[in-house]
Structure formats: C-alpha cells, structure tokens
Amino acid sequence: MNIDEQVKYLMQGVDYGDPSIEQAMTAELRERLIEAEREGRPLQVYCGYDPTSTDLHLGHTVTMRKLRQFQELGHDVTFLIGSFTSLIGDPSDKDKLRPQMNLDMVMRNAATYAEQAFRVLEPEKTRIRYNSEWLSKISMEEFFRLASNFTVQQFLTRDNFRKRWDASEPIHLHEFFYSLMQGYDAHFMNSDVQVGGSDQLFNIMTAARKVMTYYGQKPNIGIILGILPGTDGEVRMSKSLGNHIPLNTSAEDMYGKVMSIPDKAMPIYARLATDWSPDILDGFLNALETNAMHPRDAKMQLARGITAVFYGKDAADSAQDQFVAMFQKGDIPDEMPEYRLEAPESLLQVMVKNKLAQSRNQARRLVEQQGVKLDGVTVADAMLMLDQPCVLQCGKRHFLRIVR
C-alpha cells in the first residue's frame, strides 16, 4: 500500500464524534507514516486492556483488529495489560463508581488475556507488557507534577462525571487518577499511536497527549474506534448484559450469534469486526444500502467473515453449512411450543419453567453434556441470559420457540 492507502486502511472504523478531530488525526497519521518511512523505522503502537474479567468478547477485538492492521503494515505493536490501572478501574464508560479489584484478581484474569488476544494478533509480532512495571514506581513528587497539568473542570465536563455531579452522586478523587496514569503509559512507552474505543476519547486525546507534551515528546496519535453493540443491536456488548459474543466458544456458536443480530446492526459489525479491505467493505455497505443483496444473504456473508477471523475459513464454512442445514433445510419442526419473554431470563430458568428439565441441576447437566442448543448452536454457558427471539432445543426432540 502507498501512504494514502495505508491511511485509509488504518482510519477505517474511527469515531471521534467531531469531523475536525478526525481530519486532524488523519493528517497527523499521514505525517507520522511519512516520517517513519523516511527514517526507516516502524511506528510504536499500543492499546491497553484492563483485565476486569477472565473472558474477552467480540467487542474487545475491535481495537485488536486495528492493532493487527498495524502489524500487517510492519509496525511494532504492544498489547498492554492494565495490571495497575485495573486497581482503580476505568470510569470512562460508567455512570457510577466502578468496583476496585485487588492485584491477585487482576493477575488471575490477565493470565488468560494474551492467549485469547492471539486469536487476532500475530504472537511473534506482539509485545506483551504490564503497566505495573512503571506505574507502581512513580514517586509522589512526580505524580503531583503530572496532576498540575489538569484542572478539575476538565474532568467535570466529561459526560459520565457530569451526570453524577448533576445527580449529586459521589465522584471519588481516585477516579481522576486513571486518566493521568493512562497518559503516563503513553509517555513511558514513547508511543506514536494509541488505539482505543470512543469511550477513551478524553484519556487518549486529552490526557495522553498532554502528558507526552509535558515530557517534551511528540504527542501520540489517537485512533478512536466505534463501540460494537451487543447482539441486541442497541447497547454496547457486555457479558453482564448477556448480549456478548465470547471468544472462548466454537465457530458454530459465533456464526449463530452473529446471525441473531438485527439487520440494522450489520453495517457497524462489518466496519468493526471483520478483516475486510476497504474495497470489500465499501461493496458490502453499498449492497446493503441499495438493497442489492437480500438481508439474509448479507448476514450470512457477515457471519462467515467474522467467524473466519477467529477460526479460519474452513471452520467458518462448516459453521455456515450447519446453520443452513438447521434453519434453511427444515431440520427443525414448523410447529413447537412458544414462550414469551417479558424480561431477560437465564437459560436455566426458561428450561425449568417450560419443563425441558425437572430442576436447575438437571438443566445444568444437560448443558454440560452439550445437549442444549440455541438456534442450532450448542450452548456452553448454563447461566446464559436470554433476551431475544430464538429457538431452544433440548436433546433431539424437544424444541421451544422463544419470543419477546
């Protein structure tokens, strides 16, 4: 790719919420790529991940896909695990105080992150680091100097803090520290580019660039990406909301879950969760907009494309074949009992209520024995929350249509 093609590729999926910021970052990225090419060096690129749980989901991979694109173009990528920042908890996407974790919890969760991340990133080209290496060693004097670059007003203009302020809910002093520490990460690694979701706009575009400038460094370029909605197509993907697509699953499960998203969510999934080139992506989006492709066919193409990223083309093809056999060739009965969800319920609740299992323990055993499927995909999580239409199958003969 020439420089212009690289810029278009790397800026795919960005979401700054302000066209002028996007234009500025596009121009800075172009200049930094030209500079790096002239100096014969790769860009230093990173993204930080706080290990708040043991499992990653498709939403986490949006930024990983961007890191992978930088790897493809020959740049140095660091997968930064927030072993120290996790002790505070990022307040960026929260309207209330985030629970604090202890170091043992953080490190247990972190142990699984790299393995899952390597489903997207190239292991031999990825540097894994922990920010406790440097953040645990900052002196009080140094931290005071950093803090002097910011005002309380800057933090209170942030939407999440403003909501809490207006509602007279407490805002704890330590929550302000998170942005400073994230900025120090960028300084310590002397990064050229920092990748993050749009909830990180302040941390990257204000805090990190200000801290790097304070230390006399050229401020890093923020690649700010959109937030992937969950399978409901409405709110951000989250395990706690039950609308997530886990990485620790099967190709069939991932394919089936992508097929369950509403049609309106297809464009953002295509932009953020595939590895399609700009030309292929533009063609797909144009076909959606002009109705040149049936929504079902478009979603199958999307589900196959996303599944192939994590499991390879052969596994994605097999998952598609299984889905077609189940739902397009009549392998499920036309008539079956129906259960209406008034609110999200756990899989175990639904199975017991509808006499698909005699007890929660029996329902759990059926799941563990791989005898339960949703929309033809084997379920691995007995505590899965059901909140959207689907077909539940227990064993070979028992079917239940779930509707909202």
Per-residue pLDDT of the chain (404 residues), as tens digits, is: 899 999 999 998 899 989 999 999 999 999 999 999 999 999 999 999 887 776 788 998 999 989 999 999 999 999 999 888 887 755 544 444 445 566 777 777 777 777 788 888 999 999 999 999 999 999 999 989 988 888 888 777 777 777 877 788 877 777 788 889 999 999 999 999 999 998 888 889 989 999 999 999 999 999 999 999 988 888 888 877 778 898 888 898 899 889 888 889 999 999 999 988 888 999 999 999 998 988 888 999 999 999 998 889 999 999 999 888 776 555 667 678 889 988 889 999 999 999 998 888 989 888 888 888 887 777 878 888 888 888 898 887 788 989 87
pLDDT on residue 125:
93
Bridge partners of residue 399, in order along the sequence: 393
Domains of the chain and any CATH numbers: 3-225 (3.40.50.620), 249-331 (1.10.240.10), 333-404 (3.10.290.10)
Spell out the residues 6+ positions from residue 30 whose beta carbon is closer than 8 angstroms to its own.
3, 4, 7
The pairing of beta strand 44-49 with beta strand 76-81: parallel
Q: According to the model, what pLDDT value does residue 331 have? A: 63
The greatest distance separating any two alpha carbons of the chain, rounded to the nearest whole angstrom, comes to 71
Contact at 8 Å (CB) between 318 and 360? no
List of residues 6+ apart from 211 with CB closer than 8 A: 146, 149, 180, 183, 184, 186, 187
- Which among 215, 198, 260 has a CA at the least distance from the CA of 386? 260
- The strand pair at 390-394 and 372-374 is best described as antiparallel
Cβ contacts of 290 within 8 Å, gap of 6 or more: none
Q: Which two tokens stand for residue 274?
A: 């595939």
Amino acid at 31: E
pTM more than 0.85: no
Length, in residues, of the chain: 404
> If we measure between CA atoms, which residue out of 174, 119, 113, 167 comes closest to residue 147?
174
Q: Provide the H-helix boundaries in 11-139.
A: 19-39, 61-72, 103-117, 132-135
User: Between helices 251-259 and 295-311, what is the axis angle to 10°?
Assistant: 150
Strand partners, 401: 338, 391
pLDDT for the residue 288: 92
Alpha helices in 11-89 (DSSP H): 19-39, 61-72
Q: Which two tokens stand for residue 89?
A: 């908890």
Give, in order, the Cα–Cα distances in Å from 100 to each of 54, 81, 84, 136: 16, 16, 11, 16
Say if residues 221 and 32 touch (Cβ distance below 8 Å): yes
User: Which pLDDT belongs to residue 286?
Assistant: 93
